Chain A
Amino acid sequence: MSDEEIITSYKNGNLNAFKDLIDKYTPSIYNFIARLTNKNDAPDLVQEIFIKAWKNIGRFNPNKASFKTWIFTIARNTVTDFLRKSGSASGGKKSINFSDLDTKEESFSENIPDENLLPDKVLEKLEDSEILNKTLEKLSKNYQEILILHYQEEMTFEEIGKILSKPLNTVKSSHRRAILELRKILAPK
């Protein structure tokens, strides 16, 4: 049963249909939230997100976006509010400015095709979950969001653009910068 079919069933009076959506998306939403905030607050935030979705399901329009995109948009907004309230909108992490990078490196990296941005050695390092988690934590929230949504949730850049309310090209360039930042962090010193 597709998400749209489940929602139609829910709107037609089958209240239990919403449970299927919760079962399906809880792990993904939890992971997204836990990475952007922390594991302790994540369960409460997941609950808040699904309650918001349940309250606003009548306004969901499948012609505008998929349910997955819609619920991740709610998740993203909830995280932003949470971080703002807890006073860590920047997460205490450095927001990466591309101009910070060495001009030489910039012009060099711009010539690298996206597929080869991360050398095999860096990828090998990332295979260690702990290293990946620590590296991700060093990235800005914006880059984290893009990498998690693209690689963990396998979303397209277009879908990510809808969630982040950013144009496609901005998402693509942010993704590229995020990968370059990953490489910079993991580069041998």
Chain B
Amino acid sequence: MQDKLTKIFKSAKYETATDLNKKVWNTIIIRNKRNIRIKFWTFASMGLASFIGLIPVVKILLTDLAQSGFYEYFSLIFSDSGTIFLYWKELILSLAESLPIMSVVYAFSLLFIVFLSLRYLMKQVGKNQLSFAS
């Protein structure tokens, strides 16, 4: 019964439209291109916006570093090594206290996004998929 039913079911199979698999594949190609295009422009605009934002944030960071006295504490590292060796704990604490945390976090976050976007764009160039992005 098993073999006979298998034979019967197989012989009753519907004919598939000859170009159905081509249509499916073409749809996938179109979707893939669209996804690449969306990703490309998202990363490009994110990278550009982060890079533009990075300029004032770095300026603020430098001003904060100057105002908090970080540079002065930092320059002590290159002064008398004997004193540094004795008071290294205090120096590290002073450096940490004078560090403008928020500005540093903002600057590094933006820098991270810029590098992430650059990495993705370079990858796309490597894969030669930029033709999809236009």
Contact = CB atoms under 8 A, between A and B. Distances in A.
Query: Are chains A and B native binding partners rather than an unrelated pairing?
Result: yes
Contact of A43 (B2, B10, B17, B127): B17
A151 interface: yes
A39 B8 contact: no
A132 B8 contact: yes
B131 interface: no
Could you tell me the dominant secondary structure of chain A's interface residues?
helix
Interface residues of A, number: 35
Interface string B99-134: 000000000000000000000000000010000000
A80 B16 CA distance: 21
Which of the four size classes fits the interface of chain B? 20 to 34
Given A15-B32, A26-B24, A50-B24, A151 B6 contact: yes
Nearest to A13: B127
A50 B16 contact: no
Contacts of A98: none
B27 interface: yes
A23 B19 CA distance: 10
Contact of A51 (B4, B6, B20, B28): B28
B13 A31 contact: yes
Interface of A: 13, 15, 18-19, 22-23, 26-27, 30-31, 34-35, 39, 43, 46-47, 50-51, 54, 114-118, 123, 126-127, 129, 132-133, 147-148, 151-152, 154
- 3 tightest CB-CB pairs across the interface, nearest first? A151-B9, A129-B12, A26-B21
Given A123-B4, A132-B12, A151-B8, 8 more contacts: A13-B127, A15-B32, A19-B21, A26-B21, A35-B14, A43-B20, A129-B11, A152-B13
12 contacts: A19-B21, A27-B13, A31-B13, A47-B24, A51-B24, A54-B31, A116-B1, A117-B1, A126-B8, A127-B8, A148-B9, A151-B10
